[in-house]
Amino acid sequence: MTIPFTQYHLPNGRRTQEEFETDSASIEYLAHKIIEAGGRFEAEILTTGEVSVTCVTCVARMPDPTDG
């Protein structure tokens, strides 16, 4: 079971498409639901040596019916 993510590389932010393995079917299911809804996962190693893993979602603003 895999979950795709974008990895950003030092020093210039070059991007590669990667996958990580999980043995949890429920986590994989939820991750793919996020991706199907337009979300994505990103990871990068910071200059401090720490790893940042982010779930990015984009929510479109629905028109307000009261806006003339």
Q: What is the dihedral of CA 3, 28, 60, 9, to 10 degrees?
A: -20
Task: Indicate yes or no: pTM above 0.85.
Answer: no
pLDDT along the chain (68 residues), means of 10: 94 94 95 91 94 84 64
- The candidate with the shortest Cα–Cα distance to 4, out of 45, 54, 29, 41, is 41
Max Cα–Cα distance, the chain, nearest Å: 51
Helices (H), 1-68: 25-36
| DSSP state letter for 62 | P
> For position 48, what pLDDT does the model report?
94
